[in-house]
Structure 1
Amino acid sequence: MKKKLSLLLSILLIAAILVTGCSKSPDDPAITQDPDTPDTEETSSGTKILRTNNGSEPGSLDPALAQGTHESWVLDHTFEGLMKLDKNAKLVEGMAKEYKVSDDSLTYTFTLRDDIKWSNGDPVTAEDFEFSWKRALDPELASDYAHQLYYIKGGEAYNTGEGSVDDVAVKALDEKTLEVTLEAPTAYFLELTAFYTLYPVNKKVVEANPDWAKDAKTHVSNGPFTLTEWEHDASIKIRKNSNYYDAASVKLDGVDFTIIDDENTTWQGYEGGEYDLLLPLPQAVVAQMKANDNPELVIGGEVATYYYNLNSKVKPFNNPKIRKALSMTIDRQTIVDKITQGGQIAAEGVVSFGMKDENGKEYRDGVGQLITYNVEEGKKLFEEGLKEEGMTAADFSNFSILYNTSEAHKKIAQAVQEMWRTNLGIEIQLENVDFQVKLDREKAGDYHISRAGWIGDYMDPMTFVELWLSSSSFNDAKYNNPEYDKLVLTARSTADQKVRFDAMREAEKMVMEDMPIIPLYFYTQPFAQKPYVTGVYKPLVNYPKLTYADINK
């Protein structure tokens, strides 16, 4: 374990060295461009447009409705919360000028900056924040991430239909002052205000047009860039927001995202000069770039876990012996050594390395190895489980692994498929679909086994542990264990850090004993970056940040 932790720290150090760069001040003024202006004018001399790829079509560019990185990468550049992660990945004030916390750590009072505006010129107000957070909690909106606002007093009751919006303890005291009262002290609440679900939206715009976020022409945001073009399933263009309070520090005039899910196609484009920064990369390319010490490869650090959901509503995945058997017969080390090849670490539980415990030490070390590779024990459990369910190994030919279209996911699924064929004698099918289709099918329970991944929303183990609450909107495995729920709720409600972390450690052990999901590995995020691109930084909980990037050709 020490060796693995040392490896992770080395990866993060290398990422920090490679990604962080000094940016020169731009001479060009902010561009306010008609989205219909031809590309030839956008890329004219003196204009800096960074070209990259967003692997999947966003389901929504409304912060309250977004649910994945295919949306958050754009949102993180077009919106900003009360707090933000600066170019050193440090949590600092964003829309807030300052904040105060009461002695009991329950009430936060934020004072907004004086010079903040929406992209349409409207002032950003405390009322916008109050409106936005209550809107995200509105049960009629059905936000998948509403639970991130449950820490606010009255938030969960309102979202679950047991309380009133008037009881939600977030209030604009005046145009520049927002007061928020929590249900219990929450160590990571400030970090949550930098998460996209808690980004503000323009109250006046949203109330006037419920479809404001579906079209670039009506989209209004408050971040360093603004959405100027969205050709669905093809491309997204964002341009520097001249109304952003820190516009002078933004060197780029804009970012162009293509929307292509084929990694080989985009890699060919990168090699041909069509992209300045690219992710994800084909696994074979990552391995080759590592072997050649290619300086354009950046191994970005990430607190994230790659796993498979098992649909416990479908027989025989309802049987814990079957679930454990499937997990025990996957050789994770071979997957990270021979397939992913990007410095990933074979999973030891659901919470990745990089989180700290109550003593400031690595959380993972305090929980230990919760996953084993044991083919013989796996076979035994599998046979027992099949007998209990009245099924045979041949029945597995009717089941499939669902994954979103990607060469990387395909290769991993093929490896798991072969391991199960060899170790358990089963023939399982593979099925690939668009990412948003996969998400929708998981929510509907329309799958047998599905590929999933989770990047931490904030730097606390709770960002992983809370996923498998029976009430969680991201509990796609439909795991339901009252004892697990009790542990998570204890961890959420106590101010005693020892009690909180003990409850989370016990909860993680419990979910790994029941095995409703099968963790495969802890992520890194390899990406390619041209040498003329500087100022990109990679927080552990975000995709690469382009806010302060620069292009110096």
Structure 2
Amino acid sequence: MKKWLHVLWGIAIITVLAACTANSSSEEDNAEGDQAESGDTKTLLLNNGEEPTSFDPPMGFDSVSWNALNNLMEGMTRLGKDHQPEPAAAEKWEISDDGTVYTFMIREDAKWSNGDDLTAGDFEFAWKRLLDPETASPAAFLGYFIEGGEAFNNGDGSKEDVMVDAVSDKELKVTLSSPTGYFLNIISNPAFFPINESVAEENAEWYAEADSFVGNGPFTLDEWKHDSEMTFKKNENYWDKDTVKLDEVHWAMVNDTNTEYQMYESGELDTTNIPADMSEELMESDQLKVQDQAGTYFYRFNVNEEPFQNKKIRQALAMAVNQQDIVDYVTKNKEEPAYGFVSYGFEGPSGEDFREQNGNLVEFNAEEAEKLLEEGMKEEGYEELPPITLSYNTSESHKKVAETIQQMFKEHLDVDVTLENAEWNVFLQNQKDLKHQLSRSSFIADYAYPINFLESFVTDSSMNRTGWSNDEYDQFIEKAKNETDETKRWEHMYEAEKILFEEMPIFPIHFYNFVLLEKEGVSDVIRHPVGYLELKWADKE
């Protein structure tokens, strides 16, 4: 599989960086579609799939929010066309010799969409709000790299102890708890976008409607009909507005792939996912685009719910799932079946790919699955398994995968499973509240480093959502974060992932990729492997 990431290693590299700091659904009417193609107004027609969870940066921590939010706002850094961080709101930065202190210089011409100057205070306010336990951000763990961040978020420290300081209106100083060579990549995540402090103080719900939203990115939020559609317009106050070629972006919200494809065919969308039942035909299209993505489609067990308190029963169900069959006959989008959690594309200090080095940690084995189920039931004293419900968020593609897994459990283990679905926001909240027994899930990397996958499952992480806890696992993650020797850091990550699959609070299905059709004349829509859609350079003839 193509490698898309080459991580920069060590203090020597950090020094080089310091020296190079420069470095659902409403349909678009035909009239607007005709106007978009006439050349009078360049309007890109996209589908967001669902209503964004939130445009509040630390709260919209999911793919249905990121794609839009990444184009309404930007942080100190922005991922470029090569998927590496480049100067954005910050025109440059300096890094201390020990790699722990970053000083960002914000552009003099960086402004908010309402005309206010973008200040270092806006970043300090936003980053400390991300870490504030009262915010309850699911992305707060990303700020634990900052000195004092974890303690503040856990209630063991104060906001004043968080080492983010607006030295002046245009200078922000940040101290990390240990050298983190991928910090510039981390802060390109939408969770680190600034917030206009004066606007937020006047209206705590500033992000909830188009007429109150204030951003600093390439586009502004012109219209937002909730659960229906959104329209973005070019931000004339954006510091790099001359680079932005599109006048507008219109977003539908359609969560059915067949409907999405029909809209694409009728000219109502410029891109579309491929319906599974048309994949063989459309995979030969000259409009096809296939790109790598750093993420995993998987299922979570709730280990607090019977029968999944038993490790062998979890292992049995995981091993009864044939990942290869699912990608070959169900999803049919050229995905790689997943036999671990960290996806391909992460090269270690000696050049090895993480996934290849750590191997296959869970594979389909019906015979072993049957044996483990029998042993697990005996340990629990079960004559028969308690009822099992598999939950997924409403989507035709998720439904097909869930039905296939249901069939596999029946065929290989003679286990009956009930399916239930719910709309995304309800489903997600129930998963966070551990109300599901067994539920589908997905992970798209927040930044380009393997530990981002693995840190999701430490005890009490907001991303864990399984009830699982393992002290040894937590210790390996902690060691990996604090280790300065990259070879040792990777060894800690390898060991952590092995524990994850020995305990099996999750089981993977496939690694993600981008497989879609895109109209002729559309260019430079950048899809970063870590999951952000980039429209700053996009164009449409």
If the length of structure 2 is used for normalisation, what is the TM-score? Answer: 0.92
Pairing of 1:53-92 with structure 2 (within 5 A)? 53-92=47-86
1:262/1:405 contact within 8 Å kept: no
Please state if 1:188 is matched with 2:177: no
Pairing of 1:298-313 with structure 2 (within 5 A)? 298-313=289-304
1:112 to 106, 109, 117: 106
- What CA distance in whole angstroms lies between the structure 1 residues aligned with 2:476 and 2:193? 29
1:127/1:172 contact within 8 Å kept: yes
2:391/2:440 contact within 8 Å kept: yes
2:401 to 399, 412, 415: 412
Residue 452 (structure 2) aligns with:
463
Residue 286 (structure 1) aligns with:
279
Please state if 1:432 is matched with 2:432: no
1:296/1:530 contact within 8 Å kept: yes
Please state if 1:372 is matched with 2:363: yes
Please state if 1:523 is matched with 2:519: no
Per the TM alignment, residue 341 of structure 1 is displaced from its structure 2 partner at its CA by 1.5
Residue 148 (structure 1) aligns with:
142
Q: How many residue pairs end up in the alignment?
A: 515
Please, which runs of 5 or more residues in structure 2 have no aligned partner? 6-30
1:316/1:322 contact within 8 Å kept: yes
CA pair 9-394 structure 1, distance change in 2 beyond 3 A = same
Residue 382 (structure 1) aligns with:
373
Per the TM alignment, residue 45 of structure 1 is displaced from its structure 2 partner at its CA by 5.2
Q: Please state whether the residue corresponding to 1:523 is helix, strand or coil.
A: strand
Pairing of 1:248-327 with structure 2 (within 5 A)? 248-278=242-272, 280-290=273-283, 293-327=284-318
Structure 1, residues 186-237: CA drift from partner, whole Å, max 9, x if none?
Answer: 1211101100000111111011110101111000000000111111111111
Please state if 1:245 is matched with 2:236: no
- What CA distance in whole angstroms lies between the structure 2 residues aligned with 1:346 and 1:405? 23
Residue 512 (structure 1) aligns with:
501
Q: Please state whether the residue corresponding to 1:212 is helix, strand or coil.
A: coil
Paired amino acid for 1:248: D
Range with bigger deviation, 417-426 or 43-52? 43-52
Residue 390 (structure 2) aligns with:
401
1:286/1:526 contact within 8 Å kept: no
- What CA distance in whole angstroms lies between the structure 2 residues aligned with 1:119 and 1:55? 26
- What CA distance in whole angstroms lies between the structure 1 residues aligned with 2:280 and 2:77? 37
Per the TM alignment, residue 81 of structure 1 is displaced from its structure 2 partner at its CA by 0.7
1:403/1:431 contact within 8 Å kept: yes
Per the TM alignment, residue 532 of structure 1 is displaced from its structure 2 partner at its CA by 1.5
Paired amino acid for 2:236: S
- What CA distance in whole angstroms lies between the structure 2 residues aligned with 1:248 and 1:285? 40
1:394/1:427 contact within 8 Å kept: no
Residue 443 (structure 1) aligns with:
432
- What CA distance in whole angstroms lies between the structure 1 residues aligned with 2:41 and 2:411? 56
- What CA distance in whole angstroms lies between the structure 2 residues aligned with 1:193 and 1:502? 25
Residue 166 (structure 2) aligns with:
172
CA pair 352-392 structure 1, distance change in 2 beyond 3 A = farther
Please state if 1:328 is matched with 2:319: yes
1:308/1:449 contact within 8 Å kept: yes
- What CA distance in whole angstroms lies between the structure 1 residues aligned with 2:512 and 2:310? 28
Residue 134 (structure 1) aligns with:
128
2:4/2:345 contact within 8 Å kept: no
Please state if 1:233 is matched with 2:242: no
2:3/2:345 contact within 8 Å kept: no
2:297/2:510 contact within 8 Å kept: yes
- What CA distance in whole angstroms lies between the structure 1 residues aligned with 2:313 and 2:536? 47
- What CA distance in whole angstroms lies between the structure 2 residues aligned with 1:41 and 1:340? 34
Residue 481 (structure 1) aligns with:
470
1:536 to 506, 510, 525: 525
Q: Please state whether the residue corresponding to 1:210 is helix, strand or coil.
A: coil
- What CA distance in whole angstroms lies between the structure 2 residues aligned with 1:328 and 1:277? 36
CA pair 528-544 structure 1, distance change in 2 beyond 3 A = farther
CA pair 543-199 structure 1, distance change in 2 beyond 3 A = closer
Range with bigger deviation, 534-543 or 422-431? 534-543
- What CA distance in whole angstroms lies between the structure 2 residues aligned with 1:227 and 1:284? 35
Per the TM alignment, residue 73 of structure 1 is displaced from its structure 2 partner at its CA by 0.6
Residue 19 (structure 1) aligns with:
none
Range with bigger deviation, 384-393 or 245-254? 384-393
1:197 to 175, 191, 200: 191
Per the TM alignment, residue 394 of structure 1 is displaced from its structure 2 partner at its CA by 5.6
Runs (4+) of structure 1 exceeding 6 A deviation are none
Q: Please state whether the residue corresponding to 2:278 is helix, strand or coil.
A: helix
1:287/1:342 contact within 8 Å kept: no
Structure 1, residues 48-83: CA drift from partner, whole Å, max 9, x if none?
Answer: 111111111112111011121000111110011101
1:282/1:407 contact within 8 Å kept: no
2:128/2:162 contact within 8 Å kept: yes
Q: Please state whether the residue corresponding to 2:527 is helix, strand or coil.
A: coil
Residue 21 (structure 1) aligns with:
none
1:235/1:257 contact within 8 Å kept: yes
- What CA distance in whole angstroms lies between the structure 2 residues aligned with 1:388 and 1:114? 66
Residue 4 (structure 1) aligns with:
none
- What CA distance in whole angstroms lies between the structure 2 residues aligned with 1:260 and 1:527? 15
- What CA distance in whole angstroms lies between the structure 2 residues aligned with 1:42 and 1:138? 46
Pairing of 1:156-167 with structure 2 (within 5 A)? 156-167=150-161
Range with bigger deviation, 336-345 or 483-492? 336-345
Residue 550 (structure 1) aligns with:
539
Per the TM alignment, residue 369 of structure 1 is displaced from its structure 2 partner at its CA by 1.3
Per the TM alignment, residue 391 of structure 1 is displaced from its structure 2 partner at its CA by 2.5
Per the TM alignment, residue 543 of structure 1 is displaced from its structure 2 partner at its CA by 4.0
1:323/1:515 contact within 8 Å kept: yes
Residue 25 (structure 1) aligns with:
none
Structure 1, residues 227-248: CA drift from partner, whole Å, max 9, x if none?
Answer: 1111111111111100111111
Per the TM alignment, residue 287 of structure 1 is displaced from its structure 2 partner at its CA by 3.1
1:238/1:256 contact within 8 Å kept: yes
Per the TM alignment, residue 87 of structure 1 is displaced from its structure 2 partner at its CA by 2.5
- What CA distance in whole angstroms lies between the structure 2 residues aligned with 1:140 and 1:550? 41
2:485 to 486, 493, 496: 496
CA pair 346-393 structure 1, distance change in 2 beyond 3 A = farther
Structure 1, residues 117-172: CA drift from partner, whole Å, max 9, x if none?
Answer: 00000011111111110011111111111110010000111111110111100101
Q: Please state whether the residue corresponding to 1:485 is helix, strand or coil.
A: helix
Range with bigger deviation, 492-501 or 132-141? 492-501
Paired amino acid for 1:440: Q
Per the TM alignment, residue 284 of structure 1 is displaced from its structure 2 partner at its CA by 2.2
